[in-house]
Amino acid sequence: MTAFGQEWPEPARRAITGLQELVGADEGGRARIALAPGRVNLLGGHTDYNDGYVLPVAVDRRVTCAFAERAEGMLEFVSLDFDDRFIIDPRDLPRYREDDGAFERLAGGRENRWRRYAAGVALEMSAAGLPVPAGLGVIAGDVPLGSGLSSSAALEAAVYLALSNDRATPEAALLCQRAENRWAGVPCGIMDQFASFMAEEGRALFLDCRDLSWHNIDLPAGTAVTVVDSGVRRELAASEYVKRRQEIETALTILRKVAGPLPALRDLTPEVFAEVDDLLPEPLRSRVDHVVGAIARVKEGVTSLALGDTVRFGELMVECHQSLACLYEVSIPELDRIVELALTVEGVFGARLTGAGFGGCSVVFHDNECAEALRQTVTDGFEKNFGRRPPIHHLRSAGGAGVWSVER
Ligand code: ADP
Ligand code: MG
């Protein structure tokens, strides 16, 4: 299956075939195919909710929504991966109100989480005054679920573009973030959606989480990213995440008494922190220490990348990992071991846990040439320690989400 002289990636082929089967060839007409990538964050880590910076790369794993619009009627979504479907009425979509159960009435309960993301996007479009079309959307993806590559944001972005036929914009990313916050009940920051929409191939996206200014920076040629899944479900992540956010709030309250107006930790320079850090009891001092250092490291990392200094960039990744492990205390032995093993491989620049921690993945930034050696070393070493071979994904940087109109 080709369009614009290009092969469609695997999930798009499945979604298009699925749509054709469901709609029937006789109906003819056009379809919109939206593709949105997952992402992996190279630097930063709990920096987003501190108004700091992040540096994600979109990767060549995607969620697709193949959509056939109808002039009127209902809006139906089908998930090929979950073998599930649901229908909503685009003329009668509820508004979001805290805990009023509107979603349950609409898409039927808390099971089938994917429905919440897909319907949530339609609901937020409606709330934003955008038309929500009738039609059939078929969804398929190959972003691994729940392992830190942000399949949920890719799903939201694909659904948004399929329904709206819009361009990828920061406003679209914010809309999808609201869908996830409100309708899926996940208090995520803006990075995942922003990266899925605005990333560019061969580049990393430097995003200021305060004002959403961003620019893309070239990744040095011949570099690649490998993600190793610890296989540990992030069960603690939700409760520990809330705890970290509370600790930061408490630390800010204390710091504001001496350091003056301090909207967020972003505004605390390493120099000022060094003067006031003994006011904070542990673990608050360590938590703030991590955030201040991590924000500074993203800035330095951007300069290193721009200069093609992969060695310094890699060092910053490792420093970031150590800080997440020792000061923020969100690592686990599996993630630490992956980093350790990766760093023994010639051609690896750096490695760190990525995402919120307590499970999920470590990301390795390396010379393309050493991908195979890396796979061997990490899987063998990990197996020795933990008795199983971890899923490992060699990834290429990909462009941001887009939508194409095609003949069915
Ligand atoms: P991640 O880190 O991958 O974003 P989340 O728990 O935030 O993990 O999101 C995973 C959820 O996103 C899945 O449980 C599912 O509801 C939804 N999702 C992701 N990919 C797909 C897909 N291909 N089809 C349907 N739903 C998907
Ligand atoms: Mg997610």
**Interval 23-42: pLDDT, tens:** 876 565 789 999 999 999 99
Does 38 sit in the ligand 1 pocket, CB within 6 Å? Answer: no
Q: Which of 192, 229, 289, 367 is catalytic?
A: 192
Q: CATH 3.30.70.890: which residues of the chain? A: 223-395
DSSP three-state, residue 138: strand
**CA 266/CA 295 separation, integer angstroms:** 7
Question: Which of 187, 206, 164, 299 has the alpha carbon at shortest distance from 244?
Answer: 187
Task: Specify whether domain 223-395 bears CATH 3.10.20.740.
Answer: no
Beta carbon of 113 within 6 Å of any ligand 1 atom: yes
155 in ligand 1 pocket by Cβ < 6 Å? yes
Gyration radius from the chain CA atoms: 22
pLDDT at 3: 56
Dist CA 117 CA 143 (whole Å): 15
Residue 360 near residue 368, CB atoms below 8 Å: no
Q: Which CATH code fits 2-218+398-406?
A: 3.30.230.10
What angle do helix axes 151-164 and 191-198 make, rounded to 10 degrees? 50
**Closest of 99, 239, 76 to residue 183, by C-alpha:** 99
Q: In Å, what is the CA distance from 3 to each residue of 6, 8, 9, 16, 197?
A: 5, 7, 11, 12, 20
- Residues in the chain predicted with pLDDT less than 70, given as ranges, are 1-6, 25-28, 98-102, 105-111, 234, 408
pLDDT at residue number 185:
83
Q: Is 267 a catalytic residue?
A: no
The span from the CA of 408 to the CA of 397, in Å, is: 29
Residues 6+ apart with CB under 8 A from 203: 57, 216, 217, 218, 219, 397
List b or e across 123-145, with b for residues whose CB sees 16 or more CB atoms inside 10 angstroms. Answer: bbbbbeebebbbbbbbbbbbbbe
- Best of 10, 35, 155 for a ligand 1 pocket test (most atoms within 8 Å of beta carbon): 155
Q: What DSSP state is assigned to residue 66?
A: E
Q: How far is the CA of 48 from the centre of ligand 2 (A)?
A: 15
Q: How close is the Cα of 155 to the center of ligand 1, in Å?
A: 7
Pocket test for ligand 1, best of 78, 114, 143, 235 (most atoms within 8 A of CB): 114
The residues near 392 (Cβ < 8 Å, ≥ 6 apart) are 226, 227, 228, 229, 375, 378, 379
- Is there an atom of ligand 1 within 6 Å of 114 CB? yes
Task: State how far the Cα of 246 lies from the Cα of 111, in Å rounded to an integer.
Answer: 29
CA of 408 to the centre of ligand 2 (A): 31
Asked if residue 11 has a cis previous peptide bond (ω within 30° of 0), the answer is no
Residues 35/197, Cβ–Cβ less than 8 Å: no
* Residue 233, pLDDT score: 80
Residue range(s) occupied by CATH 3.30.230.10 in the chain = 2-218+398-406
Rounded Cα–Cα distance for residues 148 and 235 (Å): 13
**Does ligand 1 come within 6 angstroms of the Cβ of 86?**
no
Return the pLDDT at 97: 73
- Tell me the two tokens of residue 29: 């007409």
Q: What is the pLDDT of residue 4?
A: 47
Residue 113 Cα, ligand 1 centroid: separation in angstroms? Answer: 8
Backbone angles phi, psi at 172, to 5 degrees: -65, -40
Q: What does the pLDDT look like over 154-202, one tens digit per residue? A: 999 999 999 999 999 999 999 999 999 988 888 888 999 999 999 999 9
Q: Nearest CA to 390 among 369, 356, 363?
A: 363
145 lines ligand 1 (CB under 6 A): yes
What is the C-alpha to C-alpha distance for residues 28 and 152, in angstroms, rounded to an integer? 31
CB 64 within 8 A of CB 35: yes
